[in-house]
Structure 1
């Protein structure tokens, strides 16, 4: 609900006013000690009247009368003076309080809460249950555009509201152990965010594929089946992360890519000169988001290999070529190397992923579970970097919120454990994004493993139940010094209960989130697991294995049919030539496509598809027998498997690349 009207608690108010109007000798207790931030109350309960202790529960607020003002304090601990409890006799006890602020009476007769204290409680001052009207004053933002996300834990009739603009103008974090209600809290807050700001665009990095069910009417689901993220949008570090499968890049191969990728981009731009924008600079680097073809890159590698003296042959070039072909032939990477990636589709990609204009669906849930683990870091880096650049170059016209679920995976506290470009992209949003309209939402169950620089940039934090001591220490450092007592009960918070503090709330607030309808709760893979009626004693294990294998990736049967229908020779210098002006001049003759093939789908250059490589002239002599070994591996002869992709894959899995070049 998006509202500025906060509710009061009539029943609690009657009880509190009755207690307030009683004579002073009927007060709940008296101050016996006080310093700059804490106070101690001495109280007594008569025999058989233990019900009066309900107002002294740990975590509840009380007030202390000081003249016309009332000092607000938080109950942090209690103990009896004798360390015993006797049912048949009066019991004396002490209540330790933490001072939070003061409700002051203004000259015009109105009352207002302030975190400062003008007059501290004196010895003997009376303590009372807090009035519900004082609760409203304490958590009143003084602004009309607030969003109600739940109710106060102390009084369920008093609404808990946050100032959504303050939360989104900077950054926010939601931390909590597994099962504490983080995903539900994220769902609730994002619904309030898009309701308060219709211009907001939200990108959720969803590693568990669980938020698709949470926003069925306002979000699009992006997965490997509908994702088209061209490889040329990746920067050099991100692209090499894909090629080397998360391992450190070989320096010589990295240098070769840095030199040859700009040349491949120039070759593509030479053919597409008519479609270039006039304001585009002529300088190209390996990081410039300009399309190019893998075929051009391979041709450049072949050209460099051909210019080398046989005695000084550099095996790293052939290894680099093999890596490119392996990535191209891997069906899991089809979202990067689809047929659409050889044209300039950057506008369509940005419009689809970042919902510009959006078409009534401002949220995109980017499901990372189906993406190969060695590519997840690169994809997250590309998305976060593009989000910042879109906000920057739109000059604030596009406001983007990037929500990082399991954020400790991308920006861990140990720099050696994270992918550097991803850390840099997220850190840039955290440090500079608010100036351009890019916000960051950090979701994690282990704040102790999160980079503290990123967490320190979050101006609003919702801390749910945390049981780990290290995680509690991290949150304690972020809490205001006047509210450290709130940490004492953070390990015992109920599910869906949180302590909110920061820019979006006037003072630290213990609240319970509103319940989300069952149909909008986040679920794994976007659907609930249906209970099967099959008997485990009779079910076929073969059926289960078949399902596992068929769900491993997208359907690439048509892609494979095109591979088998093409002919090329990668290592024959005659067959591989540099493109002149058109793509057709680069493609060697090919067999006719099957009638069932979709001719509208532009195929890759055959020289890029290692499943169908054949030697153009088998009788021709080779300067080095090692090239013949590569030809047989890329073709996939009978000893390696039935298809070229199988032979290449088995070789990559069983033998290191360097072994192919040993004499």
Structure 2
């Protein structure tokens, strides 16, 4: 190929990484042929090269037309000249490998050439390299695979952003399929926080699914999700159990009680790595929160008789049931005792021993309710991880973590769709902290992240990582994106509203998969978060087709507009839009309903109320 075929024009102005060129008269046709293939000149997002000595500088066209004229050239501009602005992104020796960054800049008069598809193949990398995964193909060059560097993708963090309906969930599923290829990556491990239960169907052949109301007999063979309350730190435990303490004195009393219960548990059941000297209120040591609640409840609401020579605690005044038996309640079931209403008089008194007991009454009533409601059982009654009165448990945290990040399948899906909304953010924060601390302290072990890195995928991240959020999740994710790389923990942030995500978190993402984004504020956050000055490329985000993404950042050799290869229809996330009218014949349609079909004449709305009350969609019942 001669230089004349690819020649576009000459450099006329250089300002940092922004270069203005004037197109030559020979390229005014706007269409050139290279190796028998036609190329349109001046397409936004196209690549150009500038030969400088023994190397080529590479750039992306970001602006074309009158607005691309440099300010210092406007007065001398000749009518009819055409201009183009490009953003420099890297360099490479002629016929060699491309690398990001610049060692030198072009000068006035340097020639600018179009990059052909053949040259792009050398730049983008070769698909036979094991650290590259193929996600599709470059949109304007079907023969060029879209390759992503796994090393940079996982530990340097990433973000997948796109408006609802842009193909975001399908893109994530495609990435997960590529990363969980056990033939290529037999030791890969990924954990997904799935807030809407979308990914079980898409990844069922390579993932274990944990859900708080999971049913192993279901089609997806879901397992029960448990997060033992005693594995939480004290702040997480308070938020989930008691709510906010307005009186710091009462909070300190609860803290002392928890610490004492953990110390007593450790004396009865010694545990390797823990001792009375190193124990803190945040240590993951089993204790009975049911007994803690019961004791505090009695001390707060109990009615006592004064009897000479006896402790008041031994003289509780209970109401009696129809058989004359004291209504002492049941700590294990969260059933509160019922006390007599005693009028203070001679020899009688109601005594409350807990300092500020009037301040904790509301929190105790709230915790008692949670101990009784089945939807909170995944935390307060975690099956084999539920401690007895003395803090003894059947299984310890090692089995829990082995299930999540040490199983024989590369992906673990934590389906959080059934978690009560009032504790969702704190629960997510606790989950992430458990994973981070486990791999942080195991960093020198084979189970740790340095030897076997972990990718954490956070779906609907704007819900719990939003800009104003000061919750547990936001704090721990900021720590993960800042420090996780050193310990083999990578984060993938998935969101339809990047503008609502904490900017500290977004700025630490090294790679972006940007699908269609219609909102200008969201596009602005992506533009400001990426390291390259590619306003022209991100300006294409509103017009991307469904399933098309611009991939930018460290995991790709060059920013590229990519058509993501979607998984088979029966392996796509359960996030497709309902079809209002389907022209496909009923027997061939995947749509279970729609406005164009005659529905059942007498629908059973008792089932609707049943699923509503049970807070379980019961997918198997859908006909």
Give the TM-score range, shorter chain: 0.7 to 0.9
Secondary structure, in 3 states, of the residue corresponding to 2:491?
strand
Instruction: Return the index of the structure with the highest Cα Rg.
Output: 1
Secondary structure, in 3 states, of the residue corresponding to 1:40?
strand
User: In 1, Cα distance between the equivalents of 2:378 and 2:617?
Assistant: 11
User: In 1, Cα distance between the equivalents of 2:232 and 2:245?
Assistant: 17
Superimposed CA distance per residue, residues 6-37 of structure 1 (whole angstroms, 9 cap, x where no aligned partner): xxxxxxxxxxx3xx36xx4x766433733242
- Call closer, same or farther: CA 1:372–1:529 in 2, change over 3 Å: farther
1:41 counterpart residue number: 22
Contact 2:242 2:364 in 1 (8 A): no
1:291 counterpart residue number: 286
Superimposed CA distance per residue, residues 15-62 of structure 1 (whole angstroms, 9 cap, x where no aligned partner): xx3xx36xx4x7664337332421223355899x77657233222123
User: In 2, Cα distance between the equivalents of 1:466 and 1:65?
Assistant: 35
User: In 2, Cα distance between the equivalents of 1:231 and 1:447?
Assistant: 32
Kindly report which structure 2 residues correspond to 1:294-305, keeping only aligned pairs within 5 A, or say none.
294-301=289-296, 304-305=299-300
Contact 1:27 1:126 in 2 (8 A): no
- Call closer, same or farther: CA 1:277–1:248 in 2, change over 3 Å: closer
2:405 counterpart residue number: 355
1:325 equivalenced with 2:389 (yes/no): no
Contact 2:147 2:556 in 1 (8 A): yes
Contact 2:209 2:415 in 1 (8 A): yes
Contact 1:260 1:300 in 2 (8 A): no
* Residues 332-341 or 373-382, more deviating: 332-341
Secondary structure, in 3 states, of the residue corresponding to 1:530?
coil
2:233 counterpart residue number: 235
1:136 equivalenced with 2:121 (yes/no): yes
2:484 counterpart residue number: 433
1:518 equivalenced with 2:569 (yes/no): yes
Contact 1:462 1:500 in 2 (8 A): yes
| Residue in structure 1 matching 2:206, options 218, 221, 234 | 218
Contact 1:204 1:403 in 2 (8 A): yes
1:259 equivalenced with 2:256 (yes/no): yes
1:531 counterpart residue number: 593
- Call closer, same or farther: CA 1:248–1:38 in 2, change over 3 Å: farther
Superimposed CA distance per residue, residues 158-215 of structure 1 (whole angstroms, 9 cap, x where no aligned partner): 1221110122123111122222222122122222223354333221111111011121
User: In 2, Cα distance between the equivalents of 1:337 and 1:379?
Assistant: 12
1:584 counterpart residue number: none
- Call closer, same or farther: CA 1:248–1:365 in 2, change over 3 Å: farther
Structure 1 residues not aligned, in runs of 5+:
1-16, 82-90, 555-663
Deviation, 1:122, is 4.6
User: In 2, Cα distance between the equivalents of 1:464 and 1:239?
Assistant: 38
Contact 1:58 1:77 in 2 (8 A): yes
Structure 2 residues not aligned, in runs of 5+:
33-38, 68-79, 214-223, 305-311, 314-348, 448-452, 579-589, 619-623
Deviation, 1:312, is 6.3
User: In 1, Cα distance between the equivalents of 2:363 and 2:193?
Assistant: 31
User: In 1, Cα distance between the equivalents of 2:138 and 2:431?
Assistant: 37
User: In 2, Cα distance between the equivalents of 1:182 and 1:337?
Assistant: 35
Deviation, 1:482, is 4.3
Count residues with an aligned counterpart: 511
Deviation, 1:216, is 1.1
Deviation, 1:493, is 2.0
1:606 counterpart residue number: none
- Call closer, same or farther: CA 1:258–1:161 in 2, change over 3 Å: same
- Call closer, same or farther: CA 1:534–1:267 in 2, change over 3 Å: farther
User: In 2, Cα distance between the equivalents of 1:154 and 1:292?
Assistant: 61
* Residues 134-143 or 252-261, more deviating: 134-143
Secondary structure, in 3 states, of the residue corresponding to 1:403?
strand
Deviation, 1:540, is 4.2
- Call closer, same or farther: CA 1:249–1:194 in 2, change over 3 Å: farther
Kindly report which structure 2 residues correspond to 1:63-102, keeping only aligned pairs within 5 A, or say none.
63-64=49-50, 70-79=56-65, 93-102=82-91
Contact 1:206 1:404 in 2 (8 A): yes
1:444 counterpart residue number: 495
Kindly report which structure 2 residues correspond to 1:631-642, keeping only aligned pairs within 5 A, or say none.
none
Greater fraction helix: 1
1:30 equivalenced with 2:9 (yes/no): yes
| Residue in structure 2 matching 1:548, options 608, 612, 615 | 612
Secondary structure, in 3 states, of the residue corresponding to 1:56?
coil
Superimposed CA distance per residue, residues 559-593 of structure 1 (whole angstroms, 9 cap, x where no aligned partner): xxxxxxxxxxxxxxxxxxxxxxxxxxxxxxxxxxx
Contact 1:29 1:43 in 2 (8 A): yes
User: In 1, Cα distance between the equivalents of 2:431 and 2:6?
Assistant: 60
* Residues 290-299 or 226-235, more deviating: 290-299
Asked which structure has the greater RCO (Cα within 8 Å, sep 6+), the reply is: 2
User: In 1, Cα distance between the equivalents of 2:11 and 2:152?
Assistant: 40
Secondary structure, in 3 states, of the residue corresponding to 2:484?
helix
1:392 equivalenced with 2:446 (yes/no): no
Contact 1:241 1:374 in 2 (8 A): no
* Residues 200-209 or 126-135, more deviating: 126-135
1:145 counterpart residue number: 131
1:189 counterpart residue number: 175
| Residue in structure 2 matching 1:281, options 270, 275, 283 | 275
**TM-score, normalised on structure 1?**
0.69
2:40 counterpart residue number: 54
User: In 1, Cα distance between the equivalents of 2:290 and 2:87?
Assistant: 69
- Call closer, same or farther: CA 1:134–1:333 in 2, change over 3 Å: same
| Residue in structure 2 matching 1:201, options 165, 184, 189 | 189
Secondary structure, in 3 states, of the residue corresponding to 1:546?
helix
User: In 1, Cα distance between the equivalents of 2:368 and 2:104?
Assistant: 73
2:318 counterpart residue number: none
